[in-house]
Amino acid sequence: MKPAVIFLGLFLSALHHCAAQSCVNDTFSGDKLYDSCSSLPYLNASLHWNYHPSNGTVDVAYRALQTSDGWVAWAINPNGSGMIGANAFLAFPGSNGAVTVYTTQFSSYGVQPSDVKDENLTFAVYSRESEYSDGYYTIYATLELPRNDTKQNTVWQASTTFSDGVPYGHPAGDHYLSKTSLDFLTGQLV
């Protein structure tokens, strides 16, 4: 009985390790390279990053599986663990058909389409762009980590619903679970 339990434990550990490492083979346009990555636990998404301790910034590439007529979002919430207070990057097809990326803040659950606008975040964003390729949206950004703290609460989302031309609303289920705390220095999800 003990060998079977040990084998099962090792097998599950290896399986978890392989699942957690699935982002390491991702490639990006423009030969962008990232030192760290994490396969996020929900919504077929991953986060890749380079942390720069000398100035407290991070280059990120958030990648998520989605149809070309849908949208994806990735956010840092400097003061909480969910949507309220999230400073988000949203990638979606713009009115001209090209992929666009907005930065926006969410202050309540009662978001209206007029609340989803391109605006400054509560931390500095030095660059941002997005693309759609091979069934994935990718958001690229360089940003300042709030409070120069490597541990940040992150939230991510995806949907195909729009209102007035902007992303609006998402399903329940795993969508409510798509949040974690990430240490950009160690790569540890908590």
Buried b (16+ CB within 10 A) or exposed e, 47-63: bbbbbeeeebbbbbbbb
- Please state, rounded to an integer, the average pLDDT across all residues of the chain: 82
pLDDT band, residue 113 (cuts 50/70/90) = low
**Domains of the chain by residue range:** 36-183
Please tell me the pTM assigned to this model. Answer: 0.83
The 10s digit of each residue's pLDDT in 89-112 is 999 998 888 999 999 888 766 666
Would strands 162-163 and 166-167 be described as parallel, antiparallel, or unpaired? Answer: antiparallel
User: Which CATH number is 36-183 given?
Assistant: 2.60.40
Does residue 172 or residue 94 have the better pLDDT? 94
Query: Which phi and psi angles does 14 have, rounded to 5°?
Result: -65, -40
Does residue 84 or residue 161 have the better pLDDT? 84
Collapsed DSSP state (helix, strand, coil) of residue 174: helix
Please state the rounded mean pLDDT for residues 15-27: 61
